[in-house]
């Protein structure tokens, strides 16, 4: 069985006096509340920013304070997403919440064929400041129609920035960046991240696009992971450390734009790469990062790259079957161990 | 029950309540669009190809009075049959032609082409060539106007085919629930269309016999007008704009025309050459195959005929306007042809706003 969200991850110490320990959901809502307060043009369309779990009540305060700027639309994803796109074209800063990531398929034409293309087709004369927010991935019982991780498909769509925070501090610093970036941005959350606790600065700073974060420094193996798989990887790193394997964990945080340099520098240092991601194996986030590493830095690799991903099958319902596909800390740790023990590439 | 056959009511007066200069300006715009589109078809025939395209011939008396009923600050969101609106809002014909030919001087630097040309600075922020795609966007722009407390309104411009799309229905429902200041202007050009099944360009394939009933089913008031009747279009749009501006919410305006036969094939053609002004006063001089269309179904000639009849201008005045727009179009073609293509490296710019 997969460990539950609260078991996963490594609690880091506060960096500075005044850092506050918050859940991911609290940090997300704090960012939304701040944007609502600071920016009278900030509009939210969608009802389930925090999903359907118990954390959802945190969002109610924002909803009650700003009833005119938190709109609960009908079940009409292409319609209300298009409303968001049009409102953004007319000067509002919009967050369209699609709730479960799988529902973005109902809105795909507006996301990938309108918002993503609009600036380009206009010849740079039009900005579309909109954020598409959803909760992706294996959530426990979501099964085939409620467990998608569409970020790889969206990465295959030029014109969308893609942000994937993995900690309370990151989501607190990244959501304002997404809203203020002035461009269509896919903001990828995960329901299993919502209860994760972590320290958030007393005065949160915006985290820029395209800046990766080294979540753990190490010298033996580089693990690149995104979203909730960062938390799973942190858990794996802890186990591996007790075995004497020193893992470096790189979290790109945004894949569009992608901080290639931080990833490649880490791989140059360790010579071993494991890419972990919850998108499906073929043409997934991990595939692209592996391709970049093999194009740019093959000489530095001591062993071939390994991907730890969700296999190419629909997500099943039964917990045993869902767990079989998950990028669990155990699977990640096993991949790292294999990288340490397998035969090195012969370069003679 | 099949939909009722549409035929313009020729006895009705078609001049809107505007000053003479306003009436002449409308005629000027209609003729500019007609000559631009006719020239474009010849340009396509001469080659090289600029890809698939649509022309606005036969619908000038919808878009031009419709946009004249708005304020310049109002937003309009077109679909792929968009040249008429761009010209009507004052886009430079040369820059539109250059865009259609993919030139660097085009309205969008050659990235849009005919199907996606837009002019944000003229209140045409975005054109969607995806059927139904523009409808929720236009309504969302109206939502923004409402939340900002401005009295700006927004217009979605689309054809009858868009009523077959779910996006249109969803947008009508949300616009009605939130009472946003938007007008849904549906240009129904399906009458006498060949349709895909007969090898032509698509026509409506819908079980609805009255497109307005789709809007009414979610509480959006709907009106139908004769799209060759400039006055009827202008009045309906003025009333819808007033309703939107006074928070009365959205209106669905259906404007019907008989499809211009040149837009019946998959690729536009000029079945009998260019329109001649004298067809307005000597209908029998029109080529036989288009006699009925020019005599009874062409809103532009109907408008011109009434202008002449009311002595608002004479045949020489009309010829002068025609000559003026023809030279504008020829200058546009020269400008577009003489313009350079974009530099290849500009393909990498404008993916995100703020890049160039």
Q: Which chain A residues touch B350 with a CB distance below 8 Å?
A: 119-120, 122-124
Cβ-defined contact of B354 to A183 (cutoff 8 Å): yes
Give the residue from chain B lying closest to A113, CA to CA. Answer: B130
Q: Which of B75, B169, B349 sits opposite A124 (nearest CB)?
A: B349
Here the tokens at position B73 are: 């600050």
Does residue A15 sit in helix, strand or coil? coil
User: Which residue, B118, B157, B119, is CA-closest to B137?
Assistant: B157
pLDDT of res. B14: 96
Q: What phi-psi label fits residue B311: left (phi over 0), alpha (psi between -120 and 50 degrees) or beta?
A: left
Does residue B229 sit in helix, strand or coil? coil
In a domain, B75, yes or no: yes
CA–CA distance, A256 with A210 (Å, rounded to integer): 7
The residue with greater pLDDT, A302 or A51, is A302
Q: Please give the DSSP secondary-structure letter assigned to residue B119.
A: B
Each residue's pLDDT tens digit, A188-228: 999 999 999 999 999 999 999 999 999 999 999 999 999 99
Q: Please give the DSSP secondary-structure letter assigned to residue A202.
A: S
CB atoms closer than 10 angstroms to residue B200: 15
Q: Which of A90, A110, A124 sits opposite B144 (nearest CB)?
A: A90
Q: Which chain B residues touch A119 with a CB distance below 8 Å?
A: 350-353
Here the tokens at position A111 are: 């996301």
pLDDT of res. A197: 97
C-alpha distances in Å from residue A321, one per residue of A309, A329, B19: 15, 16, 75
Each residue's pLDDT tens digit, A85-134: 999 999 999 999 999 999 999 999 999 999 999 999 999 999 999 999 99
Bridge partners for A22 per DSSP? A198
Q: Which chain B residues touch A92 with a CB distance below 8 Å?
A: 144, 147-148
Question: What is A8-200's CATH topology?
Answer: Rossmann fold (3.40.50)
Does the pLDDT of residue A8 top 70, yes or no? Answer: no
Residue B155: CB partners within 8 Å, gap ≥ 6? B66, B67, B70, B74, B75, B76, B77, B138, B182, B183, B185
**Gap between the terminal Cα atoms of chain A:** 44
In a domain, B297, yes or no: no
Cβ-defined contact of B352 to A86 (cutoff 8 Å): no
Q: Are B251 and B240 in contact (CB under 8 A)?
A: yes
Q: Which chain B residues touch A74 with a CB distance below 8 Å?
A: 170, 173-174, 177
Q: Which of B125, B144, B171 sits opposite A126 (nearest CB)?
A: B125
Q: Which of A73, A84, A124 sits opposite B350 (nearest CB)?
A: A124
CB atoms closer than 10 angstroms to residue A6: 11
CA–CA distance, B127 with B348 (Å, rounded to integer): 21
**Count of CB contacts below 8 A, A vs B?**
162
Q: Which chain A residues touch B142 with a CB distance below 8 Å?
A: 86
User: Which residue, A179, A172, A181, A251, is CA-closest to A205?
Assistant: A172
CA–CA distance, A322 with A317 (Å, rounded to integer): 6
Arithmetic mean of pLDDT over chain A? 95
Each residue's pLDDT tens digit, A66-92: 999 999 999 999 999 999 999 999 999
Question: A330 pLDDT band (50/70/90 cuts)?
Answer: very high
A64, A133, A146, A280: the active-site residue:
A146
Hey, is the C-beta of B109 within 8 angstroms of any chain A C-beta? Answer: yes
CA–CA distance, B14 with B226 (Å, rounded to integer): 10
Q: Which of A80, A89, A125 sits opposite B174 (nearest CB)?
A: A80
Q: Which chain B residues touch A88 with a CB distance below 8 Å?
A: 140, 144
CA–CA distance, B133 with A198 (Å, rounded to integer): 42
Q: Which chain A residues touch B353 with a CB distance below 8 Å?
A: 119, 124, 126-128, 182-183
CA–CA distance, B59 with A287 (Å, rounded to integer): 50
Hey, is the C-beta of A87 within 8 angstroms of any chain B C-beta? Answer: yes
Hey, is the C-beta of B110 within 8 angstroms of any chain A C-beta? Answer: yes
Q: Which of B127, B139, B351 sits opposite A119 (nearest CB)?
A: B351
In a domain, B300, yes or no: no
pLDDT of res. A3: 41
Each residue's pLDDT tens digit, A233-271: 999 999 999 999 999 999 999 999 999 999 999 999 999
Cβ-defined contact of B109 to A124 (cutoff 8 Å): yes
In a domain, B343, yes or no: no
Does residue A277 sit in helix, strand or coil? strand
Query: If you count them, how many residues does chain B have?
Result: 356
In a domain, B236, yes or no: yes
Cβ-defined contact of A82 to B135 (cutoff 8 Å): yes
Which pairs with CB-CB distance under 8 Å and at least 24 residues apart come from A238-247? Answer: A238/A10, A239/A329, A239/A333, A240/A333, A240/A336, A240/A337, A243/A337, A245/A220, A245/A221, A245/A336, A245/A337, A245/A340, A246/A218, A246/A219, A246/A220, A246/A221, A247/A216, A247/A218, A247/A220, A247/A221, A247/A222, A247/A223, A247/A336
User: Domain A213-340, CATH 3.40.50.920 — does that match?
Assistant: yes
Give the residue from chain B lying closest to A74, CA to CA. Answer: B174
C-alpha distances in Å from residue B141, one per residue of A88, B11, B32, B147, B155: 7, 39, 29, 10, 9
Hey, is the C-beta of B347 within 8 angstroms of any chain A C-beta? Answer: no
Tens-level pLDDT at each residue, chain B (356 residues): 566 789 998 888 999 999 999 999 999 999 999 999 999 999 999 999 999 999 999 999 999 999 999 999 999 999 999 999 999 999 999 999 999 999 999 999 999 999 999 999 999 999 999 999 999 999 999 999 999 999 999 999 999 999 999 999 999 999 999 999 999 999 999 998 888 888 888 888 999 999 999 999 999 999 999 999 999 999 999 999 999 999 889 999 999 999 999 999 999 999 999 999 999 999 999 999 999 999 999 999 999 999 999 999 999 999 999 999 999 999 999 999 999 999 999 999 999 998 66
Burial of A87 (0-12, 13-18, 19+ CB in 10 A): buried
pLDDT of res. A305: 98
Mutate to test the interface with B, among A79, A85, A131 (most CBs of B within 10 A): A79
pLDDT of res. B196: 87
**CA B38 to the chain's CA centroid:** 15
Q: Are B202 and B194 in contact (CB under 8 A)?
A: no
Q: Give the CATH number for residue B123.
A: 3.40.50.970
CA–CA distance, A53 with B7 (Å, rounded to integer): 58
Q: Which of B120, B147, B170 sits opposite A78 (nearest CB)?
A: B170
Q: Which of A86, A158, A183 sits opposite B136 (nearest CB)?
A: A86
- Enumerate the H helices of B179-229 as residue ranges: 212-216
CB atoms closer than 10 angstroms to residue A7: 10
For chain A, what are the domain ranges? 8-200, 213-340
Query: How confident is the model over A160-183, as a mean pLDDT?
Result: 98
In a domain, B344, yes or no: no
Here the tokens at position A7 are: 């078991």
Q: Are B134 and B78 in contact (CB under 8 A)?
A: yes
Q: Are B180 and B152 in contact (CB under 8 A)?
A: no
Q: Are A290 and A222 in contact (CB under 8 A)?
A: no
Please say whether the dihedral angle defined by the alpha carbons of residues B78, B3, B270 and B60, taken in this order, is positive or negative. negative
Q: Which chain A residues touch B138 with a CB distance below 8 Å?
A: 86
Does the pLDDT of residue A53 top 90, yes or no? Answer: no
Per-position DSSP letters for A152-172, written without gaps between them: HHHHTSTT-EEE---SHHHHH
Q: Are A83 and B140 in contact (CB under 8 A)?
A: yes
Annotation marks residue A146 as catalytic = yes
pLDDT of res. A51: 86
Hey, is the C-beta of A182 within 8 angstroms of any chain B C-beta? Answer: yes
Give B107 to chain A, closest Cα distance, Å.
Answer: 8
Cβ-defined contact of A82 to B171 (cutoff 8 Å): yes
Cβ-defined contact of A90 to B355 (cutoff 8 Å): no
Query: A 235-294 residues with CB below 8 A of B?
Result: none
Bridge partners for A70 per DSSP? A44
Does residue A173 sit in helix, strand or coil? helix
User: Which residue, A226, A334, A213, A329, is CA-closest to A279?
Assistant: A226
Give B174 to chain A, closest Cα distance, Å.
Answer: 7
CA–CA distance, B212 with B222 (Å, rounded to integer): 5
pLDDT of res. B252: 98
pLDDT of res. B4: 74
Does the pLDDT of residue A5 top 60, yes or no? Answer: no
Hey, is the C-beta of A72 within 8 angstroms of any chain B C-beta? Answer: no
Give the count of domains, chain B. Answer: 1
Q: Are strands A20-23 and A197-200 parallel, antiparallel or unpaired?
A: antiparallel
Hey, is the C-beta of B98 within 8 angstroms of any chain A C-beta? Answer: no
Does the pLDDT of residue A1 top 90, yes or no? Answer: no
- CA angle, A198 as apex, A177 and A129 as ends, to 5°? 15
CA–CA distance, B41 with B267 (Å, rounded to integer): 9
Per-position DSSP letters for A59-115, written without gaps between them: HHHHHHH-TTTEE---S-HHHHHHHHHHHHHTT-EEEEEEEEGGGHHHHHIIIIIII
Q: Which chain B residues touch A177 with a CB distance below 8 Å?
A: none
Cβ-defined contact of B139 to A71 (cutoff 8 Å): no
Q: What phi-psi label fits residue B34: left (phi over 0), alpha (psi between -120 and 50 degrees) or beta?
A: alpha
In a domain, B203, yes or no: yes
Give B286 to chain A, closest Cα distance, Å.
Answer: 40
Cβ-defined contact of B170 to A79 (cutoff 8 Å): yes
User: Which residue, B125, B37, B1, is CA-closest to B333?
Assistant: B37
pLDDT of res. A10: 46
Q: Which chain A residues touch B148 with a CB distance below 8 Å?
A: 41, 91-92
Q: What is the largest CA-CA distance in chain B?
A: 57
pLDDT of res. A346: 85
pLDDT of res. A17: 78
């Amino acid at each position: 069985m997969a460990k539950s969200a609260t078991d996963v991850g490594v609690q880091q110490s506060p960096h500075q006096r005044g850092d506050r320990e918050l859940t991911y959901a609290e940090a997300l809502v704090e960012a939304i509340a701040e944007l609502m307060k600071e920016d009278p043009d900030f509009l939210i369309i969608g009802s389930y920013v925090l999903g359907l779990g118990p954390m959802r009540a945190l969002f109610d305060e924002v909803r009650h304070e700003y009833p005119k700027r938190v709109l609960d639309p009908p079940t009409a994803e292409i319609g209300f997403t298009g409303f968001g796109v049009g409102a953004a074209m007319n000067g509002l800063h919009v967050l369209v919440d699609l709730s479960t990531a799988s529902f973005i398929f109902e809105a795909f034409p507006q996301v990938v064929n309108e918002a993503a293309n609009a600036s380009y087709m206009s010849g740079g004369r039009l900005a579309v400041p909109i954020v598409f927010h959803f909760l992706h991935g294996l959530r426990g019982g979501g099964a085939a129609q409620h467990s998608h991780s569409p970020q790889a498909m969206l990465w295959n769509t030029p014109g969308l920035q893609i942000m994937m925070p993995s900690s309370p501090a990151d989501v607190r610093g990244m959501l304002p960046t997404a809203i203020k970036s002035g461009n269509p941005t896919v903001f990828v959350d995960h329901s299993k991240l919502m209860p994760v606790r972590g320290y958030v600065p007393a005065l949160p700073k915006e985290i820029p696009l395209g800046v990766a974060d080294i979540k753990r420094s190490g010298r033996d193996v580089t693990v690149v992971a995104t979203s909730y798989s960062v938390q799973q990887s942190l858990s794996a790193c802890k186990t591996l450390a007790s075995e004497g394997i020193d893992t470096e964990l790189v979290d790109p945080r945004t894949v569009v734009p992608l901080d290639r340099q931080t990833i490649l520098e880490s791989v140059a240092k360790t010579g071993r790469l494991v890419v972990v991601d919850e998108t499906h194996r073929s043409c997934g986030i991990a595939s692209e990062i592996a391709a970049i590493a093999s194009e740019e830095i093959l000489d530095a690799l001591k062993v071939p790259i390994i991907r730890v991903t969700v296999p190419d099958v629909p997500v099943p319902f039964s917990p045993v079957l869902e767990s079989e596909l998950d990028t669990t800390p155990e699977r990640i740790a096993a991949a790292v161990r294999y990288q340490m023990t397998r035969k090195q590439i012969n370069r003679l | 029950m099949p939909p009722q056959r549409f035929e313009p009511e020729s006895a009705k007066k078609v001049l809107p309540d505007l000053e003479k200069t306003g009436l002449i300006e409308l005629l000027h715009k209609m003729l500019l669009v007609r000559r631009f589109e006719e020239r474009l078809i010849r340009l396509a025939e001469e080659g090289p190809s600029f890809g698939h395209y649509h022309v606005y011939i036969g619908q000038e008396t919808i878009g031009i009075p419709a946009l004249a009923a708005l304020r310049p600050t109002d937003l309009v969101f077109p679909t792929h049959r968009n040249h008429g609106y761009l010209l009507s809002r004052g886009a430079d014909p040369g820059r539109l032609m250059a865009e259609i030919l993919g030139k660097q001087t085009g309205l969008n630097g050659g990235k849009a082409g005919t199907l996606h040309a837009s002019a944000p600075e003229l209140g045409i922020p975005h054109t969607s060539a995806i059927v139904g795609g523009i409808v929720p966007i236009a309504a969302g722009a109206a939502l923004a106007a409402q939340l900002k407390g401005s009295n700006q309104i927004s217009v979605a411009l689309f054809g009858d085919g868009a009523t077959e799309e779910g996006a249109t229905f969803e947008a009508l429902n949300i616009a009605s629930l939130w009472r946003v200041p938007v007008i849904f202007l549906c240009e129904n050009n399906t009458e006498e269309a060949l349709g895909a099944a007969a090898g032509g360009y698509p026509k409506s394939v819908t079980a609805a016999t009255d497109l307005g009933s789709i809007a009414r089913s979610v509480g959006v008031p709907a009106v139908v007008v004769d799209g060759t009747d400039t006055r009827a279009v202008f009045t309906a749009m003025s009333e819808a704009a007033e309703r939107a501006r006074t928070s009365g919410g959205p209106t669905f305006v259906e404007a019907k025309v008989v499809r211009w036969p040149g837009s019946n094939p998959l690729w536009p053609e000029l079945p009998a050459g260019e329109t001649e002004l004298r067809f307005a006063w000597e209908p029998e001089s029109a080529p036989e195959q288009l006699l009925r269309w020019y005599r009874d179904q062409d809103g532009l000639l109907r408008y011109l005929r009434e202008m002449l009849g009311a002595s608002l201008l004479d045949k020489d005045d009309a010829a002068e306007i025609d000559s003026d727009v023809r030279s504008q179009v020829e200058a546009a073609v020269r400008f577009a042809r003489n313009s350079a293509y974009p530099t290849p490296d500009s393909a990498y710019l404008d993916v995100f706003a703020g890049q160039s």
